[in-house]
Amino acid sequence: MLAAGAVTALTPAGFIAVSIGLAFVAALVVFAISGVAVLGLLAGIAAGALPTGELKRRASVRVKAGRLAWPDVIDHLVGAVRSGIALPDAVAALGEGGPPMFRGAFRAFGDTYSRTGSFAIAADELKDRLADPVADRIIETLRMAREVGGGELAAVLRDLARHLRAEGAIRAEVEARQSGVANTAKLGAAAPWIVLGLLCTRPEAAAAYGTTGGVTLLAGGAIVSVLAYRLMRSIGRLPVEGRWFG
């Protein structure tokens, strides 16, 4: 998840520590303001999930941007293959002439290949850095052409570029139509809890929600909100391609 979200400053342990720390602080602040322990607990759970949600959002944005950039990468590779440039050199050249969002990964590929002389090792590291299904398809195609020969490599890459452009256009249209409904659903899920937070600043409301009935109501509301949001996400989710040997 960290690789897919292009987060290099945190280790998995550091990410978990940040999530736990954020959850603890949020729970403490909400409990101090409202005086309702269960509300503080729910706030802590929600806050602890925020880093994971942000990581998934960053990964989604990166994948969407990649859908526009990968056809250009393939065009560059096709031009290099047709001009007779060796595959490792063609891939490494993307570190200078490729899309800006991928240049660091391709420069690292060139460094690894220069150091080890192994296309397989450099390709595996490149897949880990890019963490993208489309990148996996391209790299595995290049690996096969490198190992067994590929007289039709340019034609295969051109077909892949056409497919990616058509798929990207369809996805962009569907996502544009879904965005308004998704934003409305998110607002609908968050609005009651914002109102609840404002109500709990009043002592009598905080006392009511601190009772057994109030705790039951809050817990039930939280479960319904989570289930409704997850259902909305699952209904509107587009198919996601899996990683190739990732």
Determine, yes or no, domain membership for 166: yes
Q: Which domain holds residue 105?
A: 12-236
Distance CA 60, CA 49 (A): 17
Distances (CA, A) of 226 to 7, 58, 188: 27, 21, 12
| Confidence (pLDDT) at 227 | 87
| pLDDT recorded at residue 246 | 58
Residue 245: band (very low, low, confident or very high) from pLDDT cuts 50, 70, 90: low
User: Do the domain assignments include residue 5?
Assistant: no
Is there a domain that residue 241 lies in? no
Does 146 map to a domain? Answer: yes
Asked if residue 226 is part of any domain, the answer here is yes
Separation CA 246–CA 244 (nearest Å)? 5
Instruction: Tell me whether residue 7 is in a domain.
Output: no
CA–CA separation, 46 and 109 (whole Å): 39
Assess if residue 1 is contained within a domain.
Answer: no
Q: Is residue 215 part of a domain?
A: yes
Domain count, the chain: 1
pLDDT digits (tens, 9 = 90+) for 155-213: 888 888 888 888 888 887 887 777 777 777 778 888 888 888 788 778 887 788 878 88
